[in-house]
Amino acid sequence: MSLDFIRKQFGDYYAKNAVEIPDLRHREFGFGVEDKIDFRHKAFASQEDLNNYLAREAPLYASYSAAHYGLPEARPMQRKNFLGADLVFDIDAPSQKTEHAHNDLLCRVCLDAVKNDAIRLYEDFLLGDFGFSQKDVEVNFSGQKGFHFHVRGENVQQLSANARRQLVDYLQGPPVEKLLFESRKVLRGPASEAKGWGGKLYSQARRFLATASLEELRKKGLRGQTTLSVFENRAFVLRKMAEGNWDAVKGLHSLWEKVLEETRSQHAVVVDGAVSFDTARLIRLPDSLHGSTGFIAKKIARLQAFAVDDALAFSKEKTINVACDKNLEFELGGRVFESAEGKPVELPLFAGLFLLCKKRAKLVLGEA
Amino acid sequence: MVELIAKYPFLTQARELLKSDRVKYEELERAQDLVIDALAGKKREFFKSAEEEAKTLVLAKLLLAGLQNELVARKFASSKAAEFVESLKNGDESELRMVEKEFFPSIGANQISLGDFLKAGGKLAEAQLQGGRVFLDENALFRLLRNAIAFKLSDFSQISLRNMPPLVREAAQELGERIPAEPAFASAFKGKYLQLECVQKILKGVPEGKRYYGSVTLAIACVRDGLTREQAAQVMQDYVNNCPRGAQPFTLREALASLDWVYKHPSIGFSCSVNVSRGLIDGQCANCVRRRKR
């Protein structure tokens, strides 16, 4: 009963809200009700066909290929005639774990952390280091826990799987020994003109050293004479660092390693790599509904301003009655909802559907 | 230009010199010699006409494609690329500029576009990257050029094995016989993990969509069994040969990227549940040695 109800709501939503996909005729589509993808290798001739299908079939999950094919419907894969693929990044978990009261149902803290990572991915890497143009990058909410980035410029279409993997690896930063290494018994590191991760490390290390107190140096593990020596000669150490010599005062290797780790944790972004480099995979259709939440996988114009409430698809006025599998509490649409185990409760449609999609509640007919 | 092509017959302009007349056996023999010499690390000191050099290189690529041994193809490409780059280092600067432009159309003052860099197989993690441009010193540029030339020489994606003339097929087979045999290692190796039924099944090839995961599992098995990187590369070669080509072929380069990553992280354990979740393992687990031990 709950599933039929959800699909009816999804169908009604799609009947009123069109989804639009660039180069639709060359994309492969996949849909699911039981699973995220029950079947794939589907293609549509027009946006209208796709939207009619969504309204008629009301799938809980709709995905499409980042790849463009000459024959998207053909199977097996090698008959599709691969033409190229958008570059896709999927970020669905915070890169750093934080201690917090995690809400398994809908965790605002995790969502905020993922959003911050997504902003960093967008600004520091996609627009910054990789130099993609803003118009070529589309970002959308995944519909559940994270964000998807679709880079659609000409220059990414023919990137090999290996090249895509290089981009993914770059987001996590290089191993320490690639940036700090001994050459002729001198510890060498990035110089003032360094770019990429070298530049990030150099700036961070320089910022730290330029302002560090004796206490802060000790906190980083420096001891005795070395601490004093660095503190008193910091101008000299900074000058040498600018030339790439990180050994002006001996015994700082472990300090720099710590700074590098800090740099990495401040800048690195963890994405689901396979989504980026396996071009045969399908990814959630932007602006479609997510069957595990009922949220829209919404295209986002300004990531900083995005809140999960912007992705609510269903009415705040209409209500439904549901009974939850256990005591639940969550915040959605500017309201906090609480429900007791097994007890029918009247909820706005968006919140009730959220619980139904999460499989944490059952639809109850009649009054709560 | 003709002189440049004689020295660097991989350049795109060399195509214009190729005629579509029938291939002669002597020409195929010359191409075989080119491969054998390159594999033995012999450098060529004298160049024939641009037309002949261009034709010999194209035929050598055809033979290598027909041979279907990616490891040999890579060795050839790597050896020739090193030779070409050495010649460029010692040669005329204008030649260098023309070759650079072929591989890095975006080249500016000590910098190329990220796209050109990735296409040439550059390692991005430690690259001097800013605003979509990679900044390179002279040595880094030569290294990248060498990569790019090697990649071009071992790229057979435009060659159709089905349409290969019988004479070329025979010459490819003959070339295989002339190449000193590598010990048949990969399939024969009896390591604890490589011997697992599921790993042996993966080694026989997995379908598109799982090939990457298969390569990671094999790489982990290789590390766990204590194989050297070179030995593991042969396992990967077997695996790549066995995998279906799919919409996009899974290349040795991709498999070796997985291998390198796993060898950089040797503490990664072999996980049956991860393999199950990735769809690499199914029913055969019931008879698994690991399971019985647990």
- Predicted pLDDT at A293: 96
- Predicted pLDDT at B291: 60
- Predicted pLDDT at B285: 65
Compute the distance between CA of residue B198 and CA of residue A148 in angstroms, rounded to an integer: 34
Q: State how far the alpha carbon of A202 is from the alpha carbons of A195, A198, A226, in Å.
A: 9, 6, 20
- Residue B132: which of A130, A179, A279 has the nearest Cβ? A130
The answer to whether the Cβ–Cβ distance between A160 and B244 falls below 8 Å is no
Nearest residue in A to B213, CA atom: A274
In this structure, are residues A114 and A145 in contact, taking their beta carbons and an 8 Å threshold? yes
Chain B residues in contact with A76 by the CB 8 A cut-off are 208, 246
Alpha helices in chain A (DSSP H): 2-16, 47-57, 108-120, 161-170, 176-179, 196-211, 214-219, 224-232, 234-242, 253-267, 273-277, 349-357
Please return the burial class of A136, using the count of CB atoms within 10 Å of its CB with bins 0-12, 13-18 and 19+.
middle
Judged against a pLDDT cut of 70, whether residue A1 lies above it is answered with: no
Chain B residues in contact with A67 by the CB 8 A cut-off are 247
Burial B45-64 (b: 16+ CB within 10 A, else e): eeeeebbebbbbbbbbbbbb
- Predicted pLDDT at A162: 85
Q: How many CB pairs under 8 A join A and B?
A: 102
In this structure, are residues A117 and A91 in contact, taking their beta carbons and an 8 Å threshold? yes
In this structure, are residues B248 and A84 in contact, taking their beta carbons and an 8 Å threshold? no
Placement of tokens 């004689």 in the chain = B6
Chain A residues in contact with B124 by the CB 8 A cut-off are 166-167, 169-170
- Residue A280: which of B209, B251, B253 has the nearest Cβ? B209
Burial B4-14 (b: 16+ CB within 10 A, else e): bbbbbbbbebb
Most A-contacting residue of B112, B128, B139 (CB-CB within 10 A), to test interface: B128
The answer to whether the Cβ–Cβ distance between A69 and B247 falls below 8 Å is yes
- Predicted pLDDT at A49: 97
Chain B residues in contact with A192 by the CB 8 A cut-off are none
**Does domain A2-172+271-311 sit in CATH 3.90.920.10?**
yes
Compute the distance between CA of residue B196 and CA of residue B202 in angstroms, rounded to an integer: 10
Tens digits of pLDDT across chain B (294 residues)? 777 888 888 888 887 777 767 788 889 999 999 999 999 888 777 777 888 888 999 999 999 999 888 788 988 999 999 999 999 999 889 999 999 999 999 999 899 999 999 999 888 988 999 999 999 999 999 999 999 999 999 988 888 888 888 899 999 999 999 987 665 554 555 668 888 888 888 988 888 888 988 999 999 999 888 888 888 888 898 898 888 877 677 888 888 888 988 887 877 888 887 888 788 877 556 667 666 554
Nearest residue in B to A199, CA atom: B128
User: pLDDT per residue over A227-269, tens digit each?
Assistant: 989 899 999 999 999 999 999 888 888 888 888 888 888 899 9
Phi, psi of B113 (to 5 degrees): -75, 155
User: pLDDT per residue over A16-60, tens digit each?
Assistant: 999 999 999 999 999 999 889 999 999 999 999 999 999 999 999
**Residue among B186, B228, B175, B185 nearest B38 (CA):** B175
> In three state form, how does the secondary structure of chain B look?
CHHHHHHCCCCHHHHHHCCCCCCCHHHHHHHHHHHHHHHCCCCCCCCCCHHHHHHHHHHHHHHHHHHCCHHHHHHHHHHHHHHHHHHHHHCCHHHHHHHHHHHCCCCECCEEEHHHHHHCCCCCCCCEEECCEEECCHHHHHHHHHHHHHHHHCCCCCCCCCCCCHHHHHHHHHHHHHCCCCCCCCCCCCCCCCCCHHHHHHHCCCCCCCHHHHHHHHHHHHHHCCCCHHHHHHHHHHHHHHCCCCCCCCCHHHHHHHHHHHHHCCCCCCCHHHHHHCCCCCHHHHHCHHHHHC
Looking at every residue in chain A, the average pLDDT score rounds to: 93
**Residue among A82, A306, A350 nearest B246 (CA):** A82
Smallest CA–CA distance, residue B135 to chain A, in Å, is: 8
Compute the distance between CA of residue A55 and CA of residue A219 in angstroms, rounded to an integer: 60
Between A298 and B293, the more confident residue is A298
The answer to whether the Cβ–Cβ distance between A131 and B244 falls below 8 Å is no
Q: Is residue A254 less than 8 Å (CB to CB) from chain B? A: no
- Predicted pLDDT at B20: 67
- Residue A196: which of B128, B245, B257 has the nearest Cβ? B128
User: pLDDT per residue over A92-150, tens digit each?
Assistant: 988 888 889 899 899 999 999 999 999 999 999 999 999 999 999 999 999 999 999 99
Read off the amino acid at residue A62.
A
